[in-house]
Structure 1
Amino acid sequence: MWKSRLFGGAPVRPVVPEGLRVYAIGDIHGRADLLDRLLLRIDKDLDERPVAQAIHIFLGDYIDRGPDSAGVLDRLISRAQTHQTLCLKGNHEIYLLEFLENPAILKVWAQYGALTTLLSYGLRPTLNAGFEEQAELAAALGRTMPKSHYQFLTQLPLSFTCGDYLFVHAGIRPGVPLSRQREEDLLWIRDDFLCHEEPFEKVVVHGHTPVMEPEVRTNRIDIDTGAYATGRLTCLRLERDEIEFL
């Protein structure tokens, strides 16, 4: 476990409310195996260090690229039945929902790892599918996907604020109040956000942009460690003014 008592060298550290512990989890991308291991570590942490209230915050991109997107959704839905859990929307979740309505988007979605997601539902997609085959595939996904998965995907919020932190998938547009941020930026922004060095209204905890190690800046924390490719799924633990990683 890596631990820092300082926040990016700043003299004033951000805090979460007293009595609350936050477990924020980066992009999972179909790695149900890594999620299983991480949830066991969180459970062990809760057993060893009980707290009045704990919340799990998942930062989106649950599907695509990794081998078991359907399994990831199963685990997240199940976890919410026993723990306080908040799952945010990622840009990859948008593609699956759009594919159900517009099968022709498959060629675009395939560039982002769609085929492994479809395989996880027992379907057999091909890269060269024509429109009729795309439509048949979308209809088959609609029949195969559990209703709980569809409901989960359609009810994901874009962001969550807790104490001095804002949790969001990709980031925010600098210079725009949090109340006026656009969905496109919250799900897709990169350079304009990542290169901004001035403080935001809140410290932004985000994923979307893979890094080799969790990146802690004075104005943001990136916890997407490319789980589907690196085998490392990161969890950020926040309690009072402490910042730790599992």
Structure 2
Amino acid sequence: MQALTAPGIHFLDARGPEGIRLYAVGDVHGRLDLLAAMYHRIAAEIRQARPADWRVIHLGDYVDRGPDSKGVLDFLIEAQKRDPRHLMLAGNHDIGFLDFLDTPDADGLFMRYGGIQTAQSYGVALNEGGGAWFGRSEAALRQGHAALVEAVPKSHVDFLQSLPFSLTFGDFFFCHAGIRPGIALESQTTQDLIWIRDVFHNHAGLHPKIVVHGHTPVPEAEVMVNRVNIDTLAYQTGNLTALVVDGADKRILVVSGERA
């Protein structure tokens, strides 16, 4: 891995690219209602402010836990078709969904952390009969897996497989979980970009760019000198959060709905 040589940048000094307003949206986790509300707010702001250009950047984790992962993926695919300035990154849950579709694993991320709700949004009951999945037969797992593979449209699989793991605009680096401090941004591993936590969160020094991420839930947007966390546990709290960057101006945008 390539080590860092460039000096870091402080959040207060960071700027977005000239003439492009950025909206970075945190973890959605199946909350189609909040996603639609966020798009309504963003569209209203763009109509009113008329920025020269804009991007909407999603930080991953579209599926699991919330009630309508299928609807979220349908919404995002349509948004991207409508305007390619809607950009989506991969999160660990999105990759976990693909992993389960490829190889069913009762002990994997998908089955342990919200995949049952994802399957339900496709009309598949992985925990049929009630109760927890764990301990049920391998035959039942294979049967549920086959039903889910049949139910998930190829367009959803293609979309998830196409997602990049990071994006850079101006002084900002966007990814799902964070970066490994001391390693150049272009040398970050996929594993770190979608999974890292403590070593990234506990690093007090500046990074080459401000890292905008989700992955680790916080009660409200966490704005630090070197990073911004916008995962506000939307599927449970009913609060979906975005960071808005327009030149030197930075602000937090929140839409709220029902709590789980």
What's the TM-score bracket when you normalise by the shorter of the two chains?
A: over 0.9
Per the TM alignment, residue 104 of structure 1 is displaced from its structure 2 partner at its CA by 2.3
Give the aligned partner of residue 149 of structure 2. Answer: 142
**Corresponding residue of 1:112:** 113
Residue 243 of structure 2: which of 206, 211, 236 is its match?
236
Matched residues, number: 237
C-alpha distance in 2, partners of 1:60/1:104? 22
- Note the C-alpha offset of 1:73: 0.4
C-alpha RMSD over aligned residues: 1.4
Matched, 1:124 2:131: no
Distance 1:145 1:12, change over 3 A: closer
Deviations 1:136-156 (A, max 9, x none): 222222211112111111011
Amino acid at match of 2:172: Y
How big is each residue's C-alpha offset from its partner over 1:97-140, in whole Å with a ceiling of 9 and x where there is no partner?
11112112465422211100000000011114421221222222
The superposition leaves residues 10-57 of structure 1 with CA deviations (integer Å, 9 ceiling, x where unpaired) of 695111111101110000000001111111001100111111211110
Q: Distance in 1 between matches of 2:217 and 2:11?
A: 28
Cα deviation code 1:44-77 (max 9, x no counterpart): 0011111121111000000000000001001111
Confirm whether residue 101 of structure 1 aligns to residue 102 of structure 2. Answer: yes
Residue 95 of structure 1: how far off its partner (Å): 1.3
Give 1:66-215 correspondences, 5 Å limit: 66-83=66-83, 84-105=85-106, 108-126=109-127, 127-128=133-134, 129-215=136-222
Corresponding letter in the other structure for 2:21: R
- Asked whether the 8 Å contact 1:106–1:114 carries over to 2, the reply is no
- How far did residue 81 of structure 1 move? 2.0
Residue in 2 aligned with 1:5? none
Deviates more, 1:137-146 or 1:207-216: 137-146
CA distance in 2, matches of 1:12, 1:85: 26
Whole-Å separation in 2 of the counterparts to 1:112 and 1:178: 29
Q: What is the rounded CA distance, in whole Å, between the counterparts of 1:121 and 1:213 in structure 2?
A: 31
CA–CA distance in structure 1, aligned partners of residues 159 and 182 of structure 2: 32
- The code of the aligned residue for 1:90 comes to G
Contact 2:23/2:242, CA 8 A, preserved across alignment: yes
* SS of residue matched to 1:81: helix
Residue type of the alignment partner of 2:120: L
CA distance in 2, matches of 1:157, 1:103: 24
The 1-side partners of 2:157 and 2:26 are apart by 21
> Which TM-score applies when normalising by structure 2?
0.88
SS of structure 2 residue aligned to 1:229: helix
Secondary structure of the corresponding residue to residue 80 of structure 1 = helix
Unaligned runs of 5+ in 1: 1-9
TM-score, reference length from structure 1: 0.93
The 2-side partners of 1:206 and 1:104 are apart by 28
